Amino acid sequence: MAHLLPQKNAEYGTQQYWDDRYAQEADDGSFDWCKTYADIKHLVNRFVPNKDVRIVMLGCGNSTLSRDMYDDGYRNIANIDYSPVVIEKMARVNADREGMTWTVGDVRKLPFEDQSIDVCFDKATLDAMLTSEKDPWNPPPQAVADVKGEVDEVIRVLKPTGVFLYFTFGQPHFRRPLLQRPGWTVQHLEVGDGFAYYWFWMRRDEQPDPPAPSV
């Protein structure tokens, strides 16, 4: 794994780094930032109780998240990533998962119609965009523009009842200002013990939050 690490963290935000990395990894290789689906399954099931909805996985990479969600009953998942290398590999590895799609594309310019998606899911893709920051209070203008591009596209493609789910290692006081938009509510909860991760959900103001889990 060490030979796959970039010389500088900022490389995590470049397509060239990911193309090179995915080309070196085994065809059946996978890598999950943050946690696995087993760790967050209870949250996915809570925030996406209807397994028939249309889901877009933003910057899918070679994570097992889509595969595990599909095997848990979520059969309408569209995966998008700007690396043609990983899209080709993941399409081949998951060829038996009928209905799941794999598309080369830019999360800052999503190939979906306005208000056509129920759930957009980002698992550390925005984090990769922000790896060039040296001061988390003042991320570089290009990183801010990239994040804005993705969030604005999510807002465009989500149905009025849709939700944007974002799982990150970024602390809320750094991430929230990048997510907030007029007319939208942004909330979060902490996941895990010790080193914490954060689960954000973003929906239109008039939409109710999912019920709290029963104790």
> What pLDDT does residue 69 have?
97
Averaged pLDDT, 2-16: 50
More confident residue, 175 or 33: 175
Mean pLDDT of the chain: 86
Tokens of 28: 């059946």
Taking residue 1's Cβ as centre, other Cβ atoms within 10 Å add up to 6
Closest CA to 139 of 126, 152, 150, 151: 126
Q: pLDDT tens digit string along 144-183?
A: 999 999 999 999 999 999 999 999 989 999 999 999 999 9
* Residue 3: pLDDT over 50: no
Angle between helices 172-179 and 141-157 (to 10 degrees): 60
206-215: long-range contacts at Cβ-Cβ below 8 A with a sequence spacing of 24 or more? 207/160, 207/161, 207/163, 210/46, 210/47, 210/49, 211/46, 213/42, 213/46
Closest CA to 2 of 18, 19, 21: 21
* Residue 52: pLDDT over 70: yes
> What pLDDT does residue 6 have?
47
